[in-house]
Amino acid sequence: MASQTIVDALLLGILEGLTEFIPVSSTGHILLAGHFLGFESTGKAFEVLIQLGAILAILSVYFARLWSMLVSLPSDRGTQYFVGGILLAFLPAAVIGYLAHDFIKTVLFETPVLICTTLVLGGIVLLWVDSWALNPRYDDVTKFPWKVYLGIGLFQCLAMIPGTSRSGSTIVGALLLGTDKRSAAEFSFFLAMPTMVGAFALDLFKNMDILTAADLPIIATGFVAAFVVAVIVVRGLLNFVSKRGYALFGWWRIAVGLAGFAALAVWG
């Protein structure tokens, strides 16, 4: 990774921040872009570790609300219920991610055709769900039933396949389970925190022995770029999906997937 340029890391960091919290698959975008840029990170760690920038973006935007939750957690039943729901939703991905980590990184991350396929299929699913005349039953992320929290967590496991999208899986799952569009996106934000922290910690632990000092400037560049861009995206996304829905992101996924197929056919 030391041979890669700062410019590559900057571009990939911007791409991470732009795509992490919208349902288009940040990992799929970064892996495809890295493939065509010739970017090879040590242990495929860069692609996961720069997600810390996106995590901190969420923490900065939601800091006041998170602090309020932390203060009230010991005594407030509503806060305890919501935090329990987040942890319940996080549990399936934590277990499967730990057990399948090596297979995901060494096989699925190395298959651009799979990524393009899941981008297109996921786009079709997103368009299909967005076109439904849904009658949402839940609009408050803090009061979803336990079965909804768990169901969203099970849907999140689909994102182990690169190109599927963590946020896309959780948002589609939430919509199918009866939430409205805004609360689906908002819960995806909250669920991202333990999920991405867990992925970051596991990947850092797995790659600690092979990362070198030469890797740090590349990772730091991607991290900072991801943070700045993700803050902008998070601040505007909830209002956008409340008014416009998710169709734009469905078409986006299909366009990127088809462009990826075409590029693979030409350049390999």
Name the residue ranges covered by the structural domains of the chain: 6-267
pLDDT at 4: 56
More confident residue, 40 or 228: 228
pLDDT at 2: 45
pLDDT at 153: 97
Contact residues for 201 (Cβ-Cβ < 8 A; gap 6+):
none
pLDDT at 57: 92
Rounded to whole angstroms, how far apart are CA atoms 19 and 62? 19
N-to-C CA span, the chain? 21
pLDDT band at 43 (very low <50, low <70, confident <90, very high): low
Percentage of the chain with pLDDT > 90?
A: 59
Residue 56 has pLDDT above 50, yes or no: yes
Six-digit token pair at 140? 């408050």
Give tens-digit pLDDT for 72-91. 999 999 999 999 999 999 99
Give tens-digit pLDDT for 17-38. 999 899 999 988 998 998 888 8
pLDDT at 169: 95
Residue 138 has pLDDT above 90, yes or no: yes
DSSP code per residue over 200-215: HHHHHHHHTTT--GGG
CB 89 within 8 A of CB 149: yes
